[in-house]
Each structure stands twice: as structure tokens, then as C-alpha cells.
Structure 1
Amino acid sequence: MATFDVALRIEDLNNVPPLNGLFYTKWKCQGHNGTSPRVPVVNREVRWSHAIEHPVDIPIGRDGTLAPCELRISIRQEVYSHVRMKVGALTVNLSEYARLSGSTRRYFLQECKLNCTLKLSISVSQVSGPDSYTIPQLDRSMVLTDLNDIIASESSARNATEPSSLGNSLSSQQPSGRRVINVNSTPSTHSNTTQSITTETSQSRALLPIDNTDLRDLAPFQRSSRKNQQIVNDIFSPSPSSSPSLPT
């Protein structure tokens, strides 16, 4: 069993149509529950900034993974102080945010007919208990990724794959199968450079078919070789032995 201190802030609900009445939230987690203030819609947004802080006890399973610890938030609309309607709900597993100092995300609402997203700030810090456990993977099916998160993730990925030096950058741009001369270092001898150029030239020539046929033999209606011409002459020219003899 591990004990965590949960600091939650229910920020706002956006993309809300101009409806009458007041909006508020009800939350519940491990016997703890509460209600946020009632706020009207202003510029298609309902802003609460309602802070919640309480400890939770999360057991550790036999496989070493934290058991689920669900936080249930329900958004409701109150009209004329006697008519209350449910706008949507959200269930968050706090075990997925263990040891996370601060996380602000927007979430899609469940059981909601409006195109609204709820913004939450969650911080789950361990207070006591063993620390040798596995944190379950974050369920992103209900998380709306902001543009800033996309830019930050792409920037970090770009920095991780960026070459460390100019020499590495030049090596990655050269095609495989060729020797590369490093521009930052001076060749030891002139023979190494000559050998590199010769190797590239040999490889480029090896890609072309070799044909020693004379260009004159490629003209139409012309004999391809002297040997073929000799065969034709032997066939159509009469031999001396087969020529008819004249009467004497």
C-alpha cells in the first residue's frame, strides 16, 4: 500500500453554448467528495479554478503495478434552482499520474451531448509506502492533445535525432557504398585521395554494360561482321568442282 497526496484543480469547461442557468461539478474519490461553486457561462466558457487536495491510498498488485484509483467528476447544470441536468462526466485513474509533479490537460467528457472539454490540473506525489512499483500506462483515449504539446513533442524528438557534429551530418547525407572524405581532417597522403576517387569511378563504371560492337555494324542492312559475310559468300558462290563442264 502506497499513500499519495493528490492536488487537483478543476479549471474550466470550454465550447459551451450560451445556455441559461449555472454550472457546477461534483467529484468523488475513495470516500472523499465535494462540489464546486456554481458559475454561469461567459464567452462560451465556464471557469471554476476549483482546487482540491486530499490523500489517497493505492494498493500495489501482485504484479507490482499500482491498482486503479478512480476519480469521478460530474458536470451539472442548474436552472431556476430546482431543475438540475447532467451535462457530462469524466473518470480519471489517479494511479496513472503517480509521481507526477504537475499535469494540465483537456479531457473529452463522457455521457455528453455537447462538444465540450474539461481542463484539469493533476499532481500526485507519494507521501509514504514502498516505491518499488510500476505505474500503469496513461490512457490517452479521453485526452485532448493541445498544439503546444504537439510542438513540444516534435521539438524533443528533433533534438534527439539531430547529429552531434558536422562530420556525422555529412556522413548521413552520403549514399551507401562510397568512401567519404572527412572535410574536418587532412588526408595523410595523396595516394589515399587518389585511391578513393578511383574506387568511386570503378563502381560507377561497373553499373554500365560493356559493349565492344563497332558503331558501323549497327547501321541497317549492313553485315555485322566479316565472318558472316564469308559464310554468305561460301553458300551462294558456286564452287569450282560443281561448275558445269563445257563440251569440247
Structure 2
Amino acid sequence: MSPFTHLFISKSRKINFELSLIIRDLVNVPLVSGYYYVNWKLKNATHTTGSTARVHIKDHQVTWNHPINTMIQLVTNKQQILSTCELKLEIHQKGGKEIGSLSINLSEYAGSGVTTERYLLQDCKYNSTIKLSLRMNIKSDSVNTFQTPPLSRQQIFKDIPSIVHHTTKPIPSKPLLRKSQSAISLPKYCRIHASQEPSPVDLVEQLFAAKQVRLQA
């Protein structure tokens, strides 16, 4: 749906959301040097594009914890299901080389509270994954009801950390994931590290608290 078409949609079908998103980290990068950053794009929002800082890789991991705060206007269909709201991330190594990308539909997470997931990158030959924390709440002045589309779990990547970290437990004889996404397919030098970082809920709550202080000022 183009921005021009969006102008002719009935107000009763439009719903405003407050999006808080944190681009947290990238792991399983089989490289030992270089700076990495993320370009992001979002439609029907007050802030539609941006980039993270350039961060140096350490132990095959890049950590940004980059916050994004914006307003999004979504549209419902006749069944009151929210339209697609694509978030596109492009991960680059400084110098222009693209490591991979990710596209997710934010409408699937509307009104679900704080959600933290790790996603397998698209168009990436390394099995690298990126971690996001997000909260997408309906704005107080929006009274329209809505339904979310079903959550797509095709790229959500949860099972590898449990296999890698808990080495004292036996690894199942059959992989829980497709062969292309299994722990066996990862390079031996790619390890997922458990970092001592704040919880997703704390990060998002801090983000909202800072926003409220700025508004009161």
C-alpha cells in the first residue's frame, strides 16, 4: 500500500501504535575483524529510516543495543485484521559489504507486550542471527478493535542456544531444526556467547521511562 493510497482510507480503519524497538546483537559471524552496522526501514511511521552505530566485532559477535522509538499507523481489513507493517533490516560490514538482511511483519506483534526473539538472517551464508526486543502498544486515542495476523516462526531461531550452551546434556540424535538451520551446520568457530546484559523487559521499560521524562520536560 502506497502512502498516497493510505490517505483515502477511512479513519475507522486506521489504528495508531507506539513502537519501541531495540536492535540488540548479531552472533555467529565467522569473521574476526571489522566494524558492522544495521540500516533499518519502516513504512507508515513518523521515523522511516535510520542506522545503528558502527561497532567492532568481538568473539564473532556484534552488540549494538540500538533503540528506535516511533509512531506507526496501521490499517485493518474488513475482518479487522491488521495490514502488513514491514520492518526491513540490512546488516553491513563497514565498506559496503552486506552480511544479510531480515524482514518481519510488526503487525504480528501488536499489543503482545515486550517480545524478544532471535532471527536467522536472510541472504546470509554464515547462519548468523540477529536479536530484537520490541513492544508495539496501541495509542490511547485509538479506540478501534483489531486482530493480529498469525505469527510467522519461519525465521525465529531459538533452539541453537540451548544446544550450544548446555553441553552437559545429551544432544538429540535427530536435529530439532531443518538441516540447513541445525547446530551441526554451524562453523566450529562460531559460538553463541551468553553476555551479562539487561533483560529485554528492563531495556524497553528504560526506553519508555526516558521518553516520558523528555515529554514532561
Q: TM-score range by the shorter chain?
A: 0.5 to 0.7
SS at match of 1:144: coil
Long gaps (5+) in structure 2: 1-13, 163-217
**Which of 114, 126, 132 is matched with 2:138 structurally?**
126
TM-score where L is the length of structure 1: 0.56
Higher radius of gyration, 1 or 2: 1
Long gaps (5+) in structure 1: 150-248
Q: CA RMSD in A?
A: 1.7
| 2:99 matches 1:87 | yes
SS at match of 1:100: coil
Partner of residue 17, structure 1? 30
Aligned length: 145
| 2:110 matches 1:98 | yes
- Measure, in 2, the Cα distance between the counterparts of 1:18 and 1:114: 10
TM-score where L is the length of structure 2: 0.63
CA contact (8 A) 2:32 2:59 kept: no
- Measure, in 1, the Cα distance between the counterparts of 2:158 and 2:64: 21
- Measure, in 2, the Cα distance between the counterparts of 1:133 and 1:61: 9
- TM-superposed CA distance for 1:19, in Å, is 3.7
**Which of 68, 76, 79 is matched with 1:60 structurally?**
76
Greater length-normalized contact order (CA 8 Å, ≥ 6 residues apart)? 2
Once the two structures are aligned, what percentage of the paired residues are identical? 34
- TM-superposed CA distance for 1:147, in Å, is 7.8
SS at match of 1:95: helix
Partner of residue 140, structure 1? 153
- TM-superposed CA distance for 1:4, in Å, is 0.2
Cα distance change of structure 1 residues 140 and 85 upon mapping to structure 2, 3 Å threshold: same
Q: Which has the higher helix share?
A: 1
Amino acid at match of 1:70: E
| 2:57 matches 1:47 | no
Runs (4+) of structure 1 exceeding 2 A deviation are 128-131, 145-149
Partner of residue 107, structure 1? 119
- TM-superposed CA distance for 1:18, in Å, is 2.5
